[in-house]
Structure 1
Amino acid sequence: MDSQKIITSLQNPLVKKVLQLKEKSRERKKTGLFIIEGLREIELAQKGGYVIETVLYCDAINSNLQIQAPEEIAISRPVYEKLAYRQTTEGVLAIAKSKHHTLDTLKFKTKNPLILVAEAPEKPGNIGALLRTADAANLDAVLIANPKSDLYNPNIIRSSVGCLFTTQIATGTTEEIISVLQKEKITINCAALTASQNYIEADFTKPTAIVVGTEATGLSDTWLTSSDQNIIIPMQGEIDSMNVSVSAAILIFEAKRQRGF
């Protein structure tokens, strides 16, 4: 990539802007912009319909990049190392426009949707892992109830390996999401420890939402009282729960098995 603009100063206003977007959720929300790091992640974002405003690249790391953006700016290695989370990426970052993730934007890919709902997930690593599973299973959507984390947190983008951009995501309150699911006649299956049946015995062949809560507190009573069926993964050890992303993966791929995929 060739550019007339080359940034070498850590005090450059654009460098400061990128650092703000990387580190501060408030800045991301105020500007509607966020940072993507890595060639694969940027390509997945473009494929997912995200608008890339600016690409910043380091020729000293990779001089063969082919990414089209309205603005392409070369940066020095010290600047890249200041901005990047990972030094193993391909020497490229992008400033992109975030999307709106409201429930009214939902469009299911199939007439028999399979959806993952996560209530109040906090850890970016768990959210990223859930999105990777959703991509692997080609789910119709991931719905996040009462979100605690900014979806464009760099740790979520990194831990999802770009699956944030490949998966349809919507957020809302627990009550709003339950209302949408009931309106669409989607069966609500809540992962719970009480009043539950073995997940193997549940029917996931019709329009289905699999709902998971946090490892610490599980699902709220609102979900449990609205559930069509509570399901459980039997434990054989001393503890009664697994990592939420592992549990979700087990349930989702049982649903996929039942559906013949």
Structure 2
Amino acid sequence: MHKYIQSLQNSTIKSLLLLKEKSRARKKEKSFLIEGQREINLAIEGGYLLKQIFYYTDIITVEEIQSLTKNHTAPIELIEITKEVFQKLAYRDTTEGILAVAQSKDLHISNFSVSKKNPLFLVAEAPEKPGNIGAILRTADAAQVDGVFIANPKSDIYNPNIIRSSVGCIFTTQIATGTNQEILSYLKNNNINIYGAALQASAPYHNQDYTKPTAIVMGTEATGLTDEWLAATTQNIVIPMSGVIDSMNVSVAAGILIFEAKRQRGF
């Protein structure tokens, strides 16, 4: 049966708006919204289960949706919506006429596993800005790191702004969340060398050996790493800077450090 929704007062649309705007709703429903063809395709490739697709037929056809989702393993409910409803749900000014409701994954560190014997991890402690988290995930994807750990997360990983700013890289990289202690325990139990980006007791980043199992840990731009991490690192590292200020965007710094590790490993 063909479903068609044209009212913003429809209960299904109200539920979607809650998924879009409220972390509490996403956690309760264990679902989140994905907007855009590339992001939906990456989610399917990343093993995410899609429940529903909402589409505006003036922009995208059912045939195009079927082609996009051909590798999805389960049936997806397709629901046509009006331009007004779509614009209310969409984040982007220029968009592709399609949104999906996907089932969340439990990203807790207890569910994380990696088979690689010499892994490279990126850790972000308490990142707050969705844009920074998205940029870090893009860096992680570009470098093909073996996992991104979000310690003491302040933002819901399935926040639409993180999905958007990561351009779908949230689906291409293994992600795990947990407290500082949970992630520290994982790293120590698996004999991972920990390099913390910090000004205190630091050595130049390019003088370190990242060819062994390695985690590079980033703090917030405002306060840096907490004492809990600083006390646990194998070595604190610093990027020498020549400017007036002594800090840079966390995602930029993460890119410099991760790609030095990749360079040492021969990419």
TM-score of the two chains, using structure 1 as the length reference: 0.97
Report the secondary structure of 1:42's partner residue.
helix
Contact 1:33 1:95 in 2 (8 A): yes
Deviation at 1:175, TM superposition (A): 1.1
Q: Specify the alignment match of 1:202 in structure 2.
A: 208
Q: CA deviation at 1:140?
A: 0.5
Judge conservation of contact 1:117–1:212 (CA < 8 Å) in 2.
Answer: yes
Using the TM superposition, give the Cα deviation of residue 104 of structure 1 relative to its aligned residue in structure 2, in angstroms. Answer: 1.8
Give the count of matched residue pairs.
259
Q: CA RMSD in A?
A: 1.0
Unmatched 5+ residue regions in structure 1? Answer: none
Counterpart amino acid of 2:65? L
Instruction: Provide the C-alpha distance between the structure 1 equivalents of 2:152 and 2:7, rounded to a whole number of angstroms.
Output: 40
Distance in structure 2 (CA, Å) of the matches to 1:70 and 1:221: 47
What's 2:143 paired with?
137
Q: Is the 8 A contact 1:39 1:89 kept in 2?
A: no
- Is 2:28 the partner of 1:30? yes
**Are 1:60 and 1:76, in contact at CA under 8 Å, matched by a contact in 2?**
no
Q: 1: CA distance between counterparts of 2:109 and 2:87?
A: 38
Match of 1:234 in 2: 240
1:179-258 residue pairs with structure 2 within 5 A? 179-258=185-264
Structure 2 length-normalised TM: 0.95
1:60 aligned partner:
58
Alpha-carbon separation, structure 1, partners of 2:261 and 2:125: 20
Q: For residues 136 and 76 of structure 2, what CA distance do their matches in structure 1 show?
A: 32
1:50 corresponds in structure 2 to 48
Q: Percent identity?
A: 63
Task: Give the match for residue 13 of structure 1.
Answer: 11
Tell me which amino acid in the other structure corresponds to 2:212: K
SS in structure 1 of the partner of residue 38 of structure 2: helix
Structure 1 distance, partners of 2:210, 2:156, is 30
Q: How far apart are the structure 1 equivalents of 2:60 and 2:101? A: 18
Residue identity opposite 2:248 in structure 1? M
Q: Deviation string for 1:186-215 (max 9, x for gaps)?
A: 000000002111111011000000000000
State whether structure 2 residue 92 is matched by structure 1 residue 86: yes
Once residues 104 and 194 of structure 1 are traced to their aligned partners in structure 2, the CA distance between those partners, rounded to angstroms, is 31
Match of 1:152 in 2: 158
Partners of 2:143 and 2:115 in 1: how far apart?
13
Q: Where does residue 72 of structure 2 map in the other structure? A: none
Q: Which amino acid aligns with 1:209?
A: A
Contact 1:116/1:139 (8 A) holds in 2 = yes
Aligned mates of 2:235, 2:150 — CA distance in 1: 19
Name which of structure 1's ranges 55-64 and 208-217 shifts more when overlaid on structure 2: 55-64
Q: Secondary structure at the match of 1:139?
A: coil
**In structure 1, C-alpha distance between the alignment counterparts of 2:197 and 2:181, rounded to whole Å:** 17
- The Cα of 1:12 is off from its aligned counterpart by 1.0
CA distance in 2, matches of 1:11, 1:115: 45
**1:10 partner amino acid:** L
- The code of the aligned residue for 1:65 comes to I
Are 1:21 and 1:28, in contact at CA under 8 Å, matched by a contact in 2?
Answer: yes
Question: Shift in Å at residue 109 of structure 1?
Answer: 4.4
Partner of 1:239, secondary structure, is: coil
Structure 2 stretches lacking a partner, 5+ long: 70-74
Distance 1:120 1:82 in 2: 31
How many angstroms does 1:106 deviate by? 1.5
